[in-house]
Amino acid sequence: MGISARFAVLVTLVACVAGCAMEERVILLPEANGGPTSLDVHQGSHEVLLDRPYAATDLTVADPWPYQATAAEVQATFGDALAAQPVRAAHFTLYFNEASDDLTEESRAELERMLADVAKRPVRDIVIVGHTDAVGSDQYNDALARKRAERVKAMLVERGIAQTDIAAIGRGKRDLLVPTPDGTAEPRNRRVEIVVR
Amino acid sequence: MLRPIFAILLAFVVAAANAADIGQIKVSKGAVTIERAGQQIPGAVGTHVQASDVVRTGGDGSVGITMTDDSLLSAGPNSVLALDRYDFDDVTSRGQFDASLAKGSLAVVSGRLAKQSPDAMKIRTPSAVLGVRGTEFVVRVGDGH
């Protein structure tokens, strides 16, 4: 290879390092509840463990380049992405009287809290899963679980939430919240679990 | 002998029914499109996303998606985010979620999959793989300036 050809290769390489390479950066954020958190970053044979808030790494052409970022940097670089973050999903559990699809007194208050949460969301996606305790046959409990889920769905529709935004299903006595032998009456198992997204 | 076969068939039917809806666009600003099987779909608020979708934002665009495992992905302008793989069992919280950011900026809040198993959620960039142990992080893939 002549000198000019070698020079051309070198120029291409330098140009690529400067221009073709994608600049990548990863920053770990604090947990909403302040708990511990970590993120494993693998780049080829290199591994960087980010394990405290704002621990960060640049991924350069050669090696990962760890550093400590700041909240201000996150806001400056990721403000648009963070502003587009949807409202977090919320989980609610409502309890029922024995062998019935009537909510317990306390759960009527919880229903109101759920409706307040739903009202904050511009686009709703609600999943209602009905459960029973272990008293009775599978067939009976499947029907009861479904009836409970449908009842809660009807309450939401009554309060102006579109039917199409709600899925209601029953799981009978298959997923007991409190494990019990078959045939055991357990109020905490007579419930619907609701996810609001 | 028949029972396991029925169970497997049922699992396929359930998987097929769920495959269509792995998440939903909750926030959409400016130009947002979804590339699905060669088609361009507008990424409007309320649109459901599917596995293998590629979500793109324009220079004025940003998008926020809530997945069925409650994880949140939101991307800023000029981003290309691929939802490469998504399996989620709503009862056991087990499965696998792989997404990749080809360019742009991404904020992630992981959900039930990552909580259930630290290896269940992976985010890829052109040069790295992120294993999600915690919950919240941000990733940027820029054009080297």
CB B72 within 8 A of CB A85: yes
Per-residue pLDDT of chain A (197 residues; tens, 9 = 90+): 445 555 544 444 444 444 445 589 999 999 988 888 999 999 989 999 999 999 999 998 778 899 999 999 999 999 999 999 999 999 999 999 988 899 999 999 999 999 999 999 989 999 999 999 999 999 999 999 999 999 999 999 999 999 999 999 999 999 999 999 999 999 999 999 999 99
Note if the pTM is more than 0.90.
no
Residues in chain A with CB shorter than 8 Å from the CB of B75 are 81, 84
Q: Is B141 on the interface with A (CB under 8 A)?
A: yes
Do A84 and B145 make contact, defined as CB atoms within 8 angstroms?
A: no
- Over range B76-89, report the average pLDDT: 97
Residues in chain A with CB shorter than 8 Å from the CB of B63 are 84
For an interface test with A, the pick among B32, B112, B127 (most A C-beta atoms closer than 10 Å) comes out as B127
Q: What is the pLDDT of residue B134?
A: 80
Closest Cβ–Cβ partner in A81, A84, A195 for B138: A81
pLDDT band at B15 (very low <50, low <70, confident <90, very high): very low
- Between residues A23 and B29, the one the model is more confident about: B29
Give the C-alpha separation, B106 to A27, whole Å: 11
Please provide the average confidence, as pLDDT, over all residues in chain B.
88
Residues in chain A with CB shorter than 8 Å from the CB of B65 are 86
CB A40 within 8 A of CB B131: yes
Strands B95-109 vs B121-124: parallel, antiparallel or unpaired: parallel
Pick from B136, B8, B143, B32: nearest CA to A16: B143
For an interface test with B, the pick among A14, A17, A26, A173 (most B C-beta atoms closer than 10 Å) comes out as A26
Closest Cβ–Cβ partner in B24, B62, B145 for A80: B62
Pick from B101, B95, B54, B53: nearest CA to B76: B101
Q: What is the pLDDT of residue A4?
A: 53
Residue A48's SS3 state is strand
With respect to CATH, is domain A90-196 assigned 3.30.1330.60? yes
What would the DSSP string read from start to end of A78-134? HHHHHHTPPPPPEEEEEEB-TTSSPBPHHHHHHHHHHHHHHHT-SS--EEEEE---S
Pick from B15, B76, B10, B85: nearest CA to B50: B85
Instruction: Give CA separation, A106 vs A111, A147, A189, in Å.
Output: 9, 20, 15
Residues in chain A with CB shorter than 8 Å from the CB of B76 are 78-81, 84
Q: Is B31 on the interface with A (CB under 8 A)?
A: no
Within its chain, how far is the Cα of A62 from the centroid? 34
Sorted by where each begins, the domain ranges of chain A are 21-83, 90-196
Give the C-alpha separation, A47 to B110, whole Å: 21
Do B77 and A80 make contact, defined as CB atoms within 8 angstroms?
A: yes
Task: Tell me the residue type at A87.
Answer: V
- Between residues B117 and B99, the one the model is more confident about: B99
Closest Cβ–Cβ partner in B106, B141, B144 for A18: B144
Give the ipTM.
0.86
Do A43 and B128 make contact, defined as CB atoms within 8 angstroms?
A: yes
Long-range contacts of residues A181-187, Cβ cutoff 8 Å, at least 24 apart:
A181/A134, A182/A134, A183/A134, A183/A135, A184/A133, A184/A134, A184/A135, A185/A98, A185/A133, A185/A135, A186/A133, A186/A134, A187/A95, A187/A98, A187/A104, A187/A133
- Assign residue A167 a region (left: φ > 0; alpha: ψ between -120 and 50; beta: otherwise): beta
Do B109 and A88 make contact, defined as CB atoms within 8 angstroms?
A: yes
Q: Output phi, psi for A118, to 5 deg.
A: -60, -40
Q: Angle B22-B24-B30 (CA atoms, 0-180°, nearest 5)?
A: 135
- Taking residue B123's Cβ as centre, other Cβ atoms within 10 Å add up to 25
Closest Cβ–Cβ partner in B45, B65, B130 for A41: B130
Task: Tell me the residue type at B108.
Answer: V
